[in-house]
Amino acid sequence: FRMKIRGHCIFWAVEEEQPKWLLKADPMQLKGAMWRRLHDVLTRYKNRIRDWDVNNEMLHGSFYSDRMNETIRDWMYYEAHRIFPRGQMFVNEFEVLSAPWYTQSYVDQIRSFLKKGIPIDGIGVQGHFAGHAHPEILKERLDDLAVLGLPIWITELDVVAENDVKRAEVLEKIIRVAYAHPSVQGIVLWTFWDKHEWKKNTSLFEGHFFKPNEAGRRYLRMRNEWKTDIIDRQPDDVTSHDCVFRFRAFHGEHVIRIRLPDGSVLEQNVNIRNHPGELELVFNKQSPDIKDAPD
């Protein structure tokens, strides 16, 4: 599936979430443990994980800054970028999208980081919803975050609703608003299987065979709606050296396969951006991308 993995999380600002041994560390020991944590996870997974929540829930906790000082949060992001320059380092917070309590505080916090030159690459909003969502309000909150000019990810989306039809309706509203917003670049479901739920009544799939409930069926319909499947398409223009295809496609990762008259198939993975443009593919008969025609 070529599914990407997000790193969640390197640090967690909430004291109750720390390992017990860390609570006993003095500032020097704590700083050493933090450096080892950063170095270990970022170097180990640098070829597998690009996006990281560096210090989770800084509006709800201050474990590290209480024991050291406020600049320790700045250091986390600077050091993460130094170790893994290609990484995308996120902030991540809750009660920003699903509730109004921290939306403006989050904007103010991120803006203060950016003014100091701290390398924040993306905004994570968790998205734990309690059975209701209003599209207009969701859009307003996303608009408030979008003024910062950073990509937004819905990082932990779930909907608590005992009735799976209700869950499906709310989930669809949220996903459609997020997918339509120009600043939202990703949506991650937090719990989707009833055998491994963070909270009860949040699943989309049930049982050991992952049977979709109504929320799961609604999600799959949206996924299929936003896929581009063009089959047996003939070129729009043909010259002695080129073939031109013109079509509209949802942005994202695609596989393009071209069947030649001799039955062989040329295949290439492409990433289509969310704006109009031209994509030129050069195929070579000696290319390793040439595959035998499937049966």
| C-alpha 241: how far from chain center | 40
The full length of the chain comes to: 295
- Annotated catalytic residues are 156
Half-sphere exposure in the Cβ direction for 176 (13 Å, CA): 14
Half-sphere exposure in the Cβ direction for 214 (13 Å, CA): 14
- Give me the residue label for tokens 């994202």: 252
DSSP structural state of residue 170: H
Beta carbons of 216 and 205 less than 8 angstroms apart: yes
Taking the C-alpha atoms of residue 95 and residue 146, their distance in angstroms, rounded to an integer, is 16
Taking the C-alpha atoms of residue 93 and residue 52, their distance in angstroms, rounded to an integer, is 13
- Give me the residue label for tokens 């690009």: 50
Beta carbons of 206 and 255 less than 8 angstroms apart: no
Residue 117, helix vs strand vs coil: coil
Stretch (H or E) spanning 237? strand 237-238
* Six token digits for residue 106: 């989050």
- Give me the residue label for tokens 């050493």: 32
Handedness of CA 102, 106, 109, 112 (dihedral sign): negative
Angle subtended by helix axes 103-115 and 135-146, to nearest 10: 10
Residue 215, helix vs strand vs coil: helix
